[in-house]
Structure 1
Amino acid sequence: MHGRRGAGTRVAAAAALVLLLGACSGPTEPDPDADPDPAASSTSSEPSAEPTVPVADPAHAVDPPGPRKDRLWSADVLVQWDKPLDDATVKQIKRLKGVAHTERIGLGQVSLENRVLTVAAVDPAAYRLFTRSDVADLQEAWDRVAGGELATDEKVARRLADDDGMIRLGLDDSAPSLHVGAYAPQVPTIDLVVNTAWAPDIEMADDNGLLISTDGTTPASIRKPLERLVGRGASVQMLDVASRLGLDPDAKLTAVPTGGTLGSLVGTYRYRVLGGGRIAPDPDWVAANIRTEVVPILGSVTCHKDLFPQLRAALLEVQQRGLADEIHPGEYAGCYYPRFIAGTTTLSNHSFGLALDLNVPGNQRGTVGAIDRDVVAIFQTWGFAWGGDWKYTDPMHFELAEVKRPG
């Protein structure tokens, strides 16, 4: 791995930036907290007189950024809307006192193994200026993003990449899979970075977010005028706070899930952080989407309204096939839970009421699980994904992956 660094960045820890080159295999260790394998190797044994810019996916490539020439900017504020920005609003933001530099990006949320992660669609040349200096000057990383690959933190990749180093961005079978081109720390609250050519395939906007640098001015000083300007529908996060706490606790946060199934069912999900891992979703969203109904075997459950037809159909088939005793109502751990995944600031599909946990004691994380495989197959037939199929297994977990309406 090689990347140009200025004199002031040579002390940066190069080991923190690991490239996955060519078609090399991704991580195979299922434990997401295990130490990563030492880094990657080139697939070519022939030295090249001229460095080449890797293009993994010509259909999703943008112009390579070339060496960095412009100055770096601090990533101080991130604004997310649920629709593309208009030019007039951006101009007004640029005129606010304390705003030094801005960059439009696309922002969306993808569900990957029950973790709702933020993906940014960016111009690699402009976005890199908001990353820390050693990341910004890792030339090959941004060449690879421009060439159609994905950049993410190494821990995310270890958890989610398959043996070929690919990550599928969404629940649907048709969701695109991208090769992880670089492990590199990103702007706070952003988990995955792709170039803007990927935005249509991921079903996300490429200009509904704005990165803001205050360049020495305290970011909090622009919060109120910025919030007045962007309106109640936008999320305004102070990234200096997010880098310490995981999220800005004073922000009204927004998730805009991408992809056919999740995007169509959830829509725009706004929430606030309450503390203790709990969140408060927008009451109007809850009123429009969350219901308590009676279903076979389990009895009364609280879920997203659009989950019930398929959940009821799956449980009815389990019952009709004489497998009802394989599901234990006393070991059901719920469906709609407005809170983060334990120990994180990450939403799960339980936050939307689109997942449920069955037979919890015998089906813990990282195990093959004791749940009856015929029950699993029935749920899968009715459009549910099973956590037992994941790289880091969660066999109690079922989540809606495909909309199917009983006939």
Structure 2
Amino acid sequence: MGLVRRALGGRPTAGLVAGAALVALTACGSPEKSERKPEAAPSAAAASTTAAPTSAVADPEHAVDPPGAFDGKQYGDDLLLVSEDTVSDEDLATITGVTVRGKPGVAAYTRLSYGQFTMESKVFNIAAVDPGEYRRFTGPGTATFQQQWDRVAGGEIAVAQRLQKELPIDGKGYLSVEGEPIHVGAWSPGGVDGVDAVVNAKWGEELGLPRDNAVLINTGIASPQVVRKKIERAVGATTYSISALDIVAQSGIDPGAYQQAIPVGAFRDAVGIFRYTSIGGGRIAPDPAWVKSHIVTEQVPILGSVTCNKYMMPQLKAALAEIQTSKLADKIHPGEYAGCYYPRFIAGSTQLSNHSFGLALDLNVPGNQRGTVGQMDRVIVAIFKKWGFAWGGDWAYTDPMHFELARIVNPG
């Protein structure tokens, strides 16, 4: 279940590269080349700033063929189409063959494997890509950042620079993606809107990302909104989520657009495919069918009636029962319980949290505010951890009221 766990030992660590937003090196096996439409004219500015390829490979086990020097051919990132499963060749031909007033609506495209991972209650978007093809859609400053693409090919992860203070990186430069330690090779100065982190195809396969379940599209001179409507009519508006990335760049989400989260790692089993739409005011409307199949209201020890994800309930009941038999029930205050399932974005953002999936709960709220050590009894914390929960008090920016599902534990 979930990901294959491996120890950090034996992973080589590379040093910083002067003048670049790099953290370390790595590389991985060879992804299949993505198909695309005839390419636009090269950018002279991009070509003139292209660096020579770097040769270091930090993770040979996950290395793919390096992309080589950038040739200057670039495209815009207009639409991101995501499916639950691999986009079929038939659907791909339909999608890329749409026309607007008799002219092609898709000027260029690349396939990628796309999904989400959670970290400290937040959900982040990750894509497994062909570095040589995907870089063409990332903008001049990032497309020409040669070290980034060499290191993604080398098996490392490139993470958006805006997340540098948000994601916990260990002392050796590794980011744990649902239990898999991946060395951070670059803090990317830009990239495709809606993508927070990038790895290569070998890592995508190991993380459990659906192969080639997404298509990144440049519409050329055609309106992205018109092309999106054409694609929706051609393949079905609820078969794929299609985001207009210019809107995502402005607000972080495409309001009203059908979205789907495709988890990797341990929480994939508890979430499945999470479909939703943004309805304003920081709220989302999950697919009623998902709610019916995943969210339940049950009686649990100490707290009484709670509404959570049914896959978490056995572990929650086991943890609370042990707390009760350990005569520590008075350490949890039912009147200060702040809930488990609430479908909305994290306050002030367009990021989902584990509360959206019903996989987190907040306890003893008044004495355990964010950024504080909190008053949570550490034996209570240890029991929750035993039953597969992570505790927000361990985070860099603490949230000691918060417990969330980190791994599946069978109470037996």
- In structure 1, the partner of 2:260 is 254
Structure-2 separation of matches of 1:316 and 1:206: 41
Q: 1:394 aligns with which of 388, 396, 399?
A: 399
State how 1:361-380 maps to structure 2 within 5 Å: 361-380=366-385
Give the deviation of 1:70 after TM superposition: 4.7
Letter of the 2:263 partner, please give it: P
- In structure 1, the partner of 2:284 is 279
Are 1:120 and 2:127 matched, yes or no? yes
- In structure 2, the partner of 1:36 is none
Structure 1 residues not aligned, in runs of 5+:
4-13, 24-49
Give the deviation of 1:22 after TM superposition: 5.1
- In structure 2, the partner of 1:148 is 155
Structure-2 separation of matches of 1:315 and 1:355: 14
1:305-324 Cα shifts (integer Å, max 9, x gaps): 12111111111111111111
- In structure 2, the partner of 1:6 is none
State the superposition RMSD in angstroms. Answer: 1.7
Structure 1 51/103 Cα, relative in aligned 2: closer, same or farther at 3 Å? Answer: closer
1:147-186 Cα shifts (integer Å, max 9, x gaps): 011111123232222222211111xxxx211111111122
Letter of the 1:246 partner, please give it: G
Q: 2:22 aligns with which of 19, 22, 43?
A: 19
Moved over 6 A (4+): none
Letter of the 2:155 partner, please give it: G
Structure-2 separation of matches of 1:216 and 1:225: 15
- In structure 2, the partner of 1:244 is 250
Letter of the 2:250 partner, please give it: R
Structure-2 separation of matches of 1:404 and 1:122: 32
- In structure 2, the partner of 1:162 is 170
Deviates more, 1:270-279 or 1:315-324: 315-324
- In structure 1, the partner of 2:347 is 342
State how 1:198-277 maps to structure 2 within 5 Å: 198-231=203-236, 232-259=238-265, 261-277=266-282
Letter of the 1:347 partner, please give it: L
Deviates more, 1:206-215 or 1:361-370: 361-370
Structure 2 residues not aligned, in runs of 5+:
1-15, 27-51, 100-104
Q: 2:117 aligns with which of 90, 110, 116?
A: 110
What is the percentage of aligned positions where both structures have the same residue? 52
- Whether the 8 Å contact between 1:105 and 1:123 is mirrored in structure 2 is yes
Give the deviation of 1:396 after TM superposition: 1.1
1:53-108 Cα shifts (integer Å, max 9, x gaps): 22110011111111111510000000000101111111111211221111000001
Letter of the 1:69 partner, please give it: D
Give 3-state SS (helix, strand or coil) of 1:148's partner.
coil
1:14-56 Cα shifts (integer Å, max 9, x gaps): 8xx6111359xxxxxxxxxxxxxxxxxxxxxxxxxx9742211
Structure-2 separation of matches of 1:134 and 1:71: 13
How many residues end up aligned between the 2 structures? 364
Structure-2 separation of matches of 1:133 and 1:319: 59
Letter of the 1:182 partner, please give it: A
Letter of the 1:176 partner, please give it: E
Letter of the 1:201 partner, please give it: E
Give the structure-1-normalised TM-score: 0.86
Q: 2:186 aligns with which of 182, 193, 201?
A: 182
Give the structure-2-normalised TM-score: 0.85
Structure-2 separation of matches of 1:153 and 1:406: 38
Give the deviation of 1:2 after TM superposition: 7.8
Structure-2 separation of matches of 1:20 and 1:167: 11
- In structure 1, the partner of 2:146 is 139
Structure-2 separation of matches of 1:337 and 1:268: 17
Deviates more, 1:217-226 or 1:187-196: 217-226
- Whether the 8 Å contact between 2:224 and 2:244 is mirrored in structure 1 is yes
Are 1:60 and 2:57 matched, yes or no? no
Letter of the 2:222 partner, please give it: T
Structure 1 269/51 Cα, relative in aligned 2: closer, same or farther at 3 Å? Answer: closer
Structure-1 separation of matches of 2:240 and 2:268: 18
Structure 1 309/2 Cα, relative in aligned 2: closer, same or farther at 3 Å? Answer: closer
Are 1:90 and 2:98 matched, yes or no? no
- Whether the 8 Å contact between 1:107 and 1:119 is mirrored in structure 2 is yes
Letter of the 1:263 partner, please give it: R
Structure-1 separation of matches of 2:92 and 2:133: 16
Are 1:357 and 2:362 matched, yes or no? yes
